[in-house]
Chain A
Amino acid sequence: MFSSFVTASLGGLLVGLGAILLLLFNGRIAGISGILSGALWSSRESDAKGIAWQWYFLAGLLLSGLFMGGPLELLFGVTPIEMSHLEVSTPLLLISGVLVGLGCSLGSGCTSGHGICGIGRLSPRSIVATLVFISVGVLAAIVFH
């Protein structure tokens, strides 16, 4: 239990660092849902060089995913996540995915955009959004598990 608090805190520091560096250097909010929708269908603000920064950020996320079972496992005992062990049916997985995408799009943010960058800027909108989605998330987790 102790080690899971240590890795949780270390992981949180890295998440915060990645998010604040993006704001310091690029002036951007590290909200994953926003970055994903920006990469997929941003029309107004494409980069000067024609390659959007959003794709580079997403590539970084994937790159970090490839560390699974590599350096992370050796250093911290973080094992690759086996999605096939998810105890959810395919319809539930699809419904949950649609709700997550739809909710982030309507609510203009997710755990990263509101929960870290928004609260980190003391935005009232983000504080309210985070309280709402964590409360509903708790209820849903109790009902479905």
Chain B
Amino acid sequence: MKQFMALLCGTLFGTGLMLSGLADPAKVISFLNLSLLLTGEWDPSLMFVMSAALAVYLPIYLLVVKPRVLAKQGPVCDKQYHLPTKRTIDAPLLIGSVLFGLGWGMVGICPGPGIVNLASFEPSIFLFVFAMVLGGYMGRQINLSIPIAVNNT
């Protein structure tokens, strides 16, 4: 059941990414590139993706999940919720977000679309995902060697 739900959620999530245009690097760039406002070619549609996703996630979290977490009830298929416990806004969070934003704005691909687009079987996306995994491994080594950066999940 747990594995089936993970498969289903991944499929819904990926289908949403493609339908919304978030999996299309050109569309992401034409959203992020605000200089297009000057020429009237700016594409604001990606704002609707995040708004719509939050319109589903936020109320269900607040009305269903949060009360269950507080009452120490688990999710349907597990004994407990696995939520991040870290609260502080620290240097790794800020540095990581700057680096991620830089990479994302350069080419227009973030991790979800990177994986979804592997299904296009084009060499360039395999190169990107390979580099992304390499970068993730580098970050993991840094996190392990600097105690302050260790995720206490």
Contact = CB atoms under 8 A, between A and B. Distances in A.
Given A15-B20, A33-B136, A67-B18, A25 B53 contact: no
Nearest to A111: B110
Nearest to B90: A125
A131 B136 CA distance: 21
B83 to A, nearest CB: 7
A74 interface: no
Contacts of A128: 89, 93-94, 97
A24 B57 CA distance: 10
B26 A85 contact: yes
Given A104-B139, A110-B100, A4 B43 contact: yes
What does DSSP make chain B's interface, helix, strand, loop or mixed? Answer: helix
Contact of A125 (B21, B25, B47, B93): B93
A84 B126 CA distance: 11
A103 B140 contact: no
Given A23-B81, A112-B111, A145-B29, A64 B14 contact: yes
A5 B48 contact: yes
Contacts of A143: 105
A12 B16 contact: yes
A36 B134 CA distance: 12
A43 B131 CA distance: 22
| Leading 4 A-B pairs by shortest Cβ distance | A60-B10, A107-B96, A11-B20, A105-B139
Interface of B: 1-26, 29, 32-35, 43, 45-58, 60-61, 64-66, 74-78, 80-84, 86-89, 92-112, 114-120, 122, 124-125, 127-140, 142-143, 149, 151
Interface of A: 1, 4-5, 7-30, 32-33, 36-37, 40-41, 47, 49, 51, 53-54, 56-68, 72, 76, 78, 80-86, 88, 90, 92-108, 110-112, 114-125, 128-130, 132-145
